[in-house]
Structure 1
């Protein structure tokens, strides 16, 4: 088990919370955070494989 992969998945979870919070007030920020979430989760999964 790699710490980097787990850290990337944790960051993705943190960013996902930001997406949910920002969605009501700033859609553009939510989209940017969503892209970051997708990249962090894909990187975390790829690192663990």
Structure 2
């Protein structure tokens, strides 16, 4: 599962960023934008952290 999970996390982050942008354009409440944006950042950060070299081998 070496490279699959980071790609999935990056894809999820992209979908969430697109969703946040769509919510913004539709005039959604700020709370919804913050939640979706935070999830996008977490997914993208998870993909980046998964690719960093570490002890987990």
TM-score w.r.t. length of structure 2: 0.77
Number of residue equivalences:
49
Provide the C-alpha distance between the structure 1 equivalents of 2:6 and 2:28, rounded to a whole number of angstroms. 31
1:13 aligns with 2:3: no
Alpha-carbon distance, 1:26 to partner:
2.2
Q: What residue in structure 2 maps to residue 22 of structure 1?
A: 23
Q: Give the gaps of 5 or more residues in structure 2.
A: 53-57
Provide the C-alpha distance between the structure 1 equivalents of 2:39 and 2:17, rounded to a whole number of angstroms. 9
Q: Give the gaps of 5 or more residues in structure 1.
A: none
TM-score w.r.t. length of structure 1: 0.88
RMSD: 1.2
Greater percentage in helix: 1
